[in-house]
Structure 1
Amino acid sequence: MALGVLDIVLLTLSVLASAAIGVYYGVKGLRSTPLEYMLGGRSMKPLPLALSMMVGTVSAITIMGNAGEMYAYGTQLWMMDVGIVLALVIVAKVFIPIMHPLHMVSLYEYVERRFKSKWLRQATVVLQLLGGYIFIGFLLYPPSIALQAFTGLPIIANISIIGVTCTLYSAFGGVKAVVYADVFQSLVMIAGVLAIVIQGSTMIGGLDVVWDINYHNHRIEFLNLNLDPYQRHSLWLCVILGFFFTLGTYGVNQSQTQRYFSTGSVTQAQWVLYYAAMGMVFLRALIHLSGLVIYAHFKDCDPLTAPNSIPDPSTVVVKYVLQILTQIPGLTGLFVAAVYAAVLSSISTQLNSMTALLWEDFLKVLPVFKNWSEVKVGGLQKVLVFAAGVLGIVLGLAVSQLGWSFLRALFAINGALSGPLIGLFLTAVYLPWVNIKGASTGFVVSIFLNLWLAFGQLTQPKAPFLPLSRDNCTTPDPVIVTTAEPLNITTIITPTNQTTLAPETTVSDEEMMHPIYSLSYCLNSLWGTLFCIIVAIIVTAVTGANTPEDVEEKLIAPKSWVLFQRSLTLQAKEFFHKKVLRKPSISREENEVKESELDTKDPLQAPVPNNKDDVESRGAV
């Protein structure tokens, strides 16, 4: 075990503090109503909600994965933050003014009201629930591998400890426990990442030296303006990735929208996102800097290309902490506490939001719960959170048996599923002409197309790392050479001096398969969004568009509603009235008023026609 006494004390205090917050709000809200349990009575303050929103998406996988990305592939992914900020502003300016005044608990109630379709609402909820439960298992497994190296506990024990802790405080304390535990955990996460940045850069000579080392080893790249969609990363691809990732996470996902639904006004809800944007950029910058610090340390003795090592960049964080932070008592414990905090915050967010969906979208309408008191319903919701936590632990244990290959598939599939949901909501908000047939067809078709694309991308070889070196390793590593089959003879050669660069992957025509599978994964959500919108428009054009009487005005973006009222169909009718029939165009309401006035007036007192046209028109009547 790599933890000393002080490390164990810090880690234990961190986990106990999160549990204590849950116990406090659980005791305080024993008789809380469903609204208080799920949304804090819609009276929560923006800043703690923003911190909760920030750490709810920055998981332990983000800490390890993004740092590893900077190490192995360079800083281009950092530009993803530009897309994140742009999308957060759009969600604040467009989505919140429409969604928040509806006073919803479940975001997908909007889908039912906009398209007048119960089944489409439930389809979106089922998609979210399946993704959420699997995501919990995904969140539990990778960090447990890292924690095994630090704590000495087996993976099963780490999964169980994390799962039980966040399940208990989420179940007993409700959204307030989750939010305020997230506030504490955000501070722990920042401190843990800062430990790497400060200690590592100090040992090397400062952040300027770290930056210089990375620059001269081709890690610093921000303005790759190449428009090629087949490259892994570029400025445009990363901005698109960040933009659609944020729309999918903060705009159309219950786990995050539930945070700003917990405020009392539209303005407060918008400030939740503005605060979250600032916090997100800061925390992600620290994580990215930690990856550069780690590269500066390993630049001449890379652990990824060592024999029998796992060629996954996220593992370099663990190796760095074991080598460097263990030299100072307490720092390793602080980092491990940050990993625990990141896992706890992400899972508790999922548990709370999935319970809200289960109750609002499926259970609330059942006759058996019709006469239940609010306190009794609140108790049921606690049971649902607990059951979801137990299921998440089971899924985490199941994922641990599948290995790292499963993680790549899950990343691809989750990214593929967010695009259709974004497309459905953008269609609902901006295209009031689209009817239920168009929306549901576009949603279903885009899911299948995006999944097909995601599974096809999994057949492609992994992108090679930037150059890595083992020139200055103290002990030369044996080179393992294996002959071609069927002899399968292995020879071990130990050199006196050895240089290892990043493995260059040679891709044959058979491996490339269909060119569409080689498109950058950054575009997956964009394709899903476009598939959904285009198919929805085409099907609506065939089956007949909505009219203003079919849609509630408050469910549509204001400028789209103005265009909707002056649609092409209505303008064509008006043109026909004025230019062909030579009659003034009047609204339905005005016409009804005039007809009622004619019915109530005495025919003998009708005004004398002034011209020939009036006589002919009255004769026609």
Structure 2
Amino acid sequence: MSDAANFDVPKFQVWDYVVFGAVLLMSAGIGVYHAFAGGRQSTTKEFLLADKKMSVWPVAMSMLASFMSAITLMGNPAEIYNYGTQFIMIGLSYSLVIPAAAHLYMPIFYNLNLTSAYEYLELRFSKGVRLAACITFILQMVFYMAIVLYAPALALNQVTGLNVWISVLSVGLVCTFYTTLGGMKAVMYTDLIQIVIMFSGMTAILIKGSLDVGGFQEVWKRAGEGDRLELFNFDPDPRVRHTFWSLFVGATFTWLAIYGVNQAQVQRALSTPSLKHAQIALYLNIPGLIFLLIITVGCGLVIYANYQGCDPVQLGVVQSADQLVPLFVMKSLGAYPGVPGLFVSAIFSGALSTLSSGFNSLSAIVLQDIIKSYFMPNMSEVQATRAAKGLAMGFGALCIGLSYVASYLGGVLQAALALFGIVGGPLLGLFSLAFFFPWANWKGAYAGLFTSLATTLWVGLGAILVYKPINPLKPLSVELCSNLTSVAQNVTMAIEDTPPIADWYATSYLYYSIIAIIVCVTVGMCVSLATGPENPREMDPRLITPILAKIFCCVPDKRKQALWCGVPHDKVEEKNDEKEQMEPMATVAFHQNGHINEESVSEKL
């Protein structure tokens, strides 16, 4: 492996720029096409929900692409390179996340015929709760998208030498362009193409990297020699970063915050013609998520096998493990015209899919939950559509600016998943409190949301700013590098005495969502019971998921009523999941204190 020491990285060639430019033009072209096709994005329903006419496959692939971004393509291989294969156990969580999202959360959103998921919180609690949750989501998404925007800039910088911030600006402007012009249809059709490019790029790395060391059997052998093969770590200590329990149980709730209640995913499901189509689209994500996980884990093993004994990070060739994938591509595939361009297109596509989803979802909730709700309730359809497009453009500019902050967050994979736990966890807790606990009132909702958010911010920021947990890397060395003299090796760090609070900050980031749900539901229910709980018998059953009846689905119908917790679900006509089109629900009038008025008012459009 003496050739591993030669890290003269080749630059882009003409064909690489051709492939890369073709992806840019294709994405922009789709936006231009949908700006003039159909209804020309002249209504908010078309711009934000694609007229609710999207078929299953584009929706499913868009869901998959939305949060499987450049962070996944670079972060997963870096995770395997540094810490081993334990991370692959996160795939088990997908089998719980998708059914829960499809059958416990999505039916409520779909049957209410909403545009914003946060409209539900006004129906269930109050207008103020809706606004508080909406603002929380906005903060989560803009910082997440800043991370997503910065990550591919690292790849472009590594393989082309192009300035990172010029890359950030280019990516952000192209994405903002086609999202603003083409709306949801452009977003989902570009996502469909981009997910194909993502899979193609990573597959090329897996195949060529294996051949470079003599086949995948040799890759596996070297991974074993380097202590990279680990699957079943059953250590119950919550301070251990990745174990079977954190990756299975903890990640289930982390991903449920994305697939169950995140506006970007809910909005995609709502763009389908029926609830059945939305549920099928969700289930199609299971094989897609697992396939992408396997490919990225395989790429991590391949990169380790090629650089075993000659670590580019210790050599200073790259600044962090997140840059190993683009480095390896240029070293191994740089001689093949157009292939490095395909890889960078894959990274770029991952960023585009996530950013476009975020811009579209953020414009939807700001329009529905803030502008229409508080400032211009009677705005015309033309005004609303123009506002939605302007908001998408504004969020693009904001994320470009915030990407500077993302450059200080360290490993992109952990930063992104930690953010979903810190902010997404409390939102999942709030929606779960609303969906499954009919006794909860608006006061409990406020208390639960703010208490859980304060708790996760406490532990998350404490781990970043106060006592950063020590996560030992798997063995890395530069012993086999040729023509090298002394290089920096890993230094054994002296363990300082730390106060007990440091153990709290050392909690695995994958448990943040569980902590948030426990705190939100516990505090929310205690406050609700203390201030006067809602009467389940007076609750509109269309706002509550009968979770016990869903779990114990084989119980005879006559006995299911006992599992409804007093909510009169028998008063609502049962909707057949096989129907192609669900009837829109009538909106519900509210008193100022957030309690439901039994009398339905006008149909919600």
Answer whether TM exceeds 0.5 for this pair. yes
Q: Deviations over 1:140-179 (max 9, x none)?
A: 1132122112222211211111011010100000000000
Aligned partner of 1:315 in structure 2 is 323
Map 1:481-492 → 2, pairs under 5 A: none
Q: Shift of residue 440 of structure 1?
A: 1.5
Q: Shift of residue 375 of structure 1?
A: 3.6
Structure 1 position 38 matched with structure 2 position 48: yes
Q: d(CA) in 1 for partners of 2:485 and 2:63? A: 45
Map 1:113-262 → 2, pairs under 5 A: 113-115=123-125, 117-262=126-271
Question: For residue 100 of structure 2, what is the amino acid of its counterpart?
Answer: I
Secondary structure of 1:327's aligned partner = coil
Q: d(CA) in 2 for partners of 1:185 and 1:228? A: 39
Q: Shift of residue 212 of structure 1?
A: 2.3
| Residues 408-417 or 282-291, more deviating | 408-417
Structure 1 position 509 matched with structure 2 position 515: no
| 1:342 corresponds to which of 342, 350, 367 | 350
Number of equivalent positions = 544
Q: Shift of residue 248 of structure 1?
A: 0.9
Aligned partner of 2:103 in structure 1 is 93
Question: For residue 385 of structure 2, what is the amino acid of its counterpart?
Answer: G
Q: d(CA) in 2 for partners of 1:281 and 1:110? A: 31
Q: d(CA) in 1 for partners of 2:55 and 2:74? A: 31
Q: Deviations over 1:179-224 (max 9, x none)?
A: 0000111111111111110111122222222122212322111111
Q: Are the aligned partners of 1:421 and 1:443 in contact in 2 as well (CA < 8 Å)?
A: yes
Q: Shift of residue 446 of structure 1?
A: 0.8
Identity of aligned residues (%): 35
Aligned partner of 2:507 in structure 1 is 519
Question: For residue 384 of structure 2, what is the amino acid of its counterpart?
Answer: V
Aligned partner of 2:25 in structure 1 is 16
Question: For residue 44 of structure 2, what is the amino acid of its counterpart?
Answer: P
Q: d(CA) in 2 for partners of 1:33 and 1:94? A: 30
Map 1:272-421 → 2, pairs under 5 A: 272-307=281-316, 310=319, 312-365=320-373, 368=376, 370-372=378-380, 374-397=381-404, 399-400=406-407, 402=408, 404=410, 412-421=418-427
Q: d(CA) in 2 for partners of 1:253 and 1:380? A: 22
Structure 1 position 48 matched with structure 2 position 54: no
Structure 1 position 434 matched with structure 2 position 434: no
Question: For residue 265 of structure 1, what is the amino acid of its counterpart?
Answer: S
| Residues 438-447 or 558-567, more deviating | 558-567
Q: Deviations over 1:235-254 (max 9, x none)?
A: 11111232012111111110
Q: d(CA) in 2 for partners of 1:299 and 1:566? A: 58
Q: Shift of residue 415 of structure 1?
A: 2.3
Larger RCO, structures 1/2 (Cα 8 Å, 6+ apart):
2
Secondary structure of 1:324's aligned partner = helix
CA distance 1:292–1:169, change in 2 (3 Å): same
Q: Which has the larger radius of gyration?
A: 1
Question: For residue 373 of structure 2, what is the amino acid of its counterpart?
Answer: V
Q: d(CA) in 2 for partners of 1:404 and 1:565? A: 46
Secondary structure of 2:423's aligned partner = helix
Q: Shift of residue 550 of structure 1?
A: 4.1
CA distance 1:291–1:376, change in 2 (3 Å): same
Q: d(CA) in 1 for partners of 2:317 and 2:220? A: 30
Q: Shift of residue 344 of structure 1?
A: 0.7
CA distance 1:409–1:188, change in 2 (3 Å): closer
Q: d(CA) in 2 for partners of 1:566 and 1:71? A: 49
Q: d(CA) in 1 for partners of 2:349 and 2:394? A: 21
Q: d(CA) in 1 for partners of 2:501 and 2:118? A: 38
Q: Deviations over 1:78-101 (max 9, x none)?
A: 111111231111111211222211
Q: d(CA) in 2 for partners of 1:308 and 1:336? A: 19
Name stretches of at least 5 consecutive residues in structure 2 with no aligned partner.
1-9, 550-560, 568-605
Secondary structure of 1:171's aligned partner = helix
Q: d(CA) in 1 for partners of 2:150 and 2:461? A: 22
Q: Shift of residue 455 of structure 1?
A: 1.4
CA distance 1:435–1:511, change in 2 (3 Å): closer
Q: Shift of residue 462 of structure 1?
A: 3.7
Q: Are the aligned partners of 2:179 and 2:359 in contact in 1 as well (CA < 8 Å)?
A: yes
Q: d(CA) in 1 for partners of 2:417 and 2:454? A: 16
Structure 1 position 75 matched with structure 2 position 85: yes
Q: d(CA) in 1 for partners of 2:431 and 2:150? A: 32
Aligned partner of 2:583 in structure 1 is none
TM-score by length of 2: 0.85
Q: Are the aligned partners of 1:80 and 1:241 in contact in 2 as well (CA < 8 Å)?
A: no
Q: Are the aligned partners of 1:137 and 1:396 in contact in 2 as well (CA < 8 Å)?
A: yes
Q: Shift of residue 328 of structure 1?
A: 2.0
CA distance 1:82–1:65, change in 2 (3 Å): same
| 2:481 corresponds to which of 453, 473, 476 | 473
CA distance 1:564–1:363, change in 2 (3 Å): farther
Q: Shift of residue 53 of structure 1?
A: 0.8
Question: For residue 432 of structure 1, what is the amino acid of its counterpart?
Answer: P
Q: d(CA) in 2 for partners of 1:186 and 1:206? A: 26
Name stretches of at least 5 consecutive residues in structure 1 with no aligned partner.
481-499, 569-621
Structure 1 position 546 matched with structure 2 position 534: yes
Aligned partner of 1:534 in structure 2 is 522
Q: d(CA) in 2 for partners of 1:223 and 1:565? A: 38
Q: d(CA) in 2 for partners of 1:423 and 1:563? A: 25
Aligned partner of 2:603 in structure 1 is none
Aligned partner of 1:583 in structure 2 is none
Question: For residue 108 of structure 1, what is the amino acid of its counterpart?
Answer: Y
Q: d(CA) in 2 for partners of 1:92 and 1:283? A: 21
Secondary structure of 1:314's aligned partner = helix
Question: For residue 219 of structure 2, what is the amino acid of its counterpart?
Answer: V
Map 1:580-595 → 2, pairs under 5 A: none
Secondary structure of 1:300's aligned partner = coil
